[in-house]
Amino acid sequence: MGRNNDSYLQAFILVGFSDWPRLEMILFAIILVFYALTLLGNTAIILLSITDSRLHMPMYFFLGNLSFPDLCFTTIIVPQLLWNLWGPDKSITYHGCAAQLYIYMVLGSTECVLLAVMSYDCYVAVCRPLHYTVAMHPRLYLQLVSVAWCCGFLNSFVMCPQTMQLSRCGHRRVDHFLCEMPALIAVSCEDNILVEACAFALGVVLLLVPLFLILLSYGMIAATVLRIKSTAGRRKAFNTCSSHLTVVSLFYGTIIYMYLHPANSYSQDQGKFLTLFYTIVTPSVNPLI
C-alpha cells in the first residue's frame, strides 16, 4: 500500500530552472519564440506535403512524417514548461507526468527510426537514381513509416511502466523541466539497475542501430558521389542529402549522450540544457534546414 501511495497518488514537482529565477523570464520569451517557429514551420511542411500534388513523393512524405512528431514533441512539453516558468506553481499530476513521458518516448523513438528511413531514401536517390521510383514504391515507404511508429510505441510500452512504478520514498521533486526518464530514474530510492539495463539495451537498439544504418547509407553515398565526374552532379547529390545529415547531427548528438549516459553520473543542470536543445531548438530549425 505504501508503494501504491508513493507511486500513484502524489503529484511531482518539476524544479526546472527555479534555481535561476532571473533566467526564467528570459527562457520564457526565448522558448515562446521557438515554439511559435516550430508550430509555423512544421505545420506548413505537413500541409504542403498533403495539398501540393507535386510533393506526393517519398522524400516529402518522410518530411511530413518527421514534422508531425516534432510538432507533437514540443506541444506536449512547451505549454507545461511555459506555465512553470511564468508562475510559482511547478507541480504536475502523476497521470500528467506519465502521459508526458509516454508520448515523449513514443515520438522520440519514432523520430530516431524515421531518420534512418530517410537516410535509406537518400541512398536510393543518389546511388540508384534510375531505380528510385521502382524501389521506393508507396507500399514500401508506408511500411517503413509504420515500422518506425511501431518501434516508438513498443519502446514506450516497455519503459514507461517500469520508470513510473519505481519507488520514490515520498520524493516528489524532479530536478528537470519535464518528466524525462533519466530524471525520474534518478529520483528513485530503490535499486534500479534492471531498469537502467533495459533502458540502455533499448537505447542501443533505437539509437545506435539507426545511427549505424545512417552512417552506412552515407558511406555508400559518399563513395558514389566521389565517382561522379561532373561538378553539377556532385552538387545535386550534396544538396539532396546535406539537410538530412544536418538534422541527424543535431538530433543524435544530444540524445545519444542523454540516454546512453550512466544515470549515476547524470548531471541534472547539463541534462536540462541538452534536453532543452533537442526538444525546443531542434524541432524549430528542422523546417528551416
Confidence of residue 32 (pLDDT cuts 50, 70, 90): very high
Confidence of residue 269 (pLDDT cuts 50, 70, 90): low
Confidence of residue 141 (pLDDT cuts 50, 70, 90): confident
Q: Can you give the pLDDT at residue 68?
A: 92
End-to-end CA distance of the chain: 52
Could you tell me where the beta strands, DSSP code E, fall in 67-159? 91-92
Of 169, 166, 172, nearest to 191 by C-alpha is 166
Of 26, 37, 85, nearest to 280 by C-alpha is 37
Asked if pLDDT for residue 8 goes beyond 80, the answer is no
Query: What is the pTM (predicted TM-score) of this model?
Result: 0.84
Contact in structure between 160 and 98 (CB atoms under 8 Å): yes
Asked if pLDDT for residue 265 goes beyond 70, the answer is no
Of 254, 288, 217, 219, nearest to 63 by C-alpha is 288
Distances (CA, A) of 268 to 10, 50, 288: 22, 41, 30
Of 279, 276, 284, nearest to 16 by C-alpha is 276
User: Over the chain, what is the mean pLDDT?
Assistant: 83
From CA 49, how far away is CA 61, in angstroms rounded? 7
The three three-digit cell numbers of residue 92, written as one number: 504536475
Which is it for strands 12-14 and 173-174: parallel, antiparallel or unpaired? parallel
Contact in structure between 177 and 84 (CB atoms under 8 Å): yes
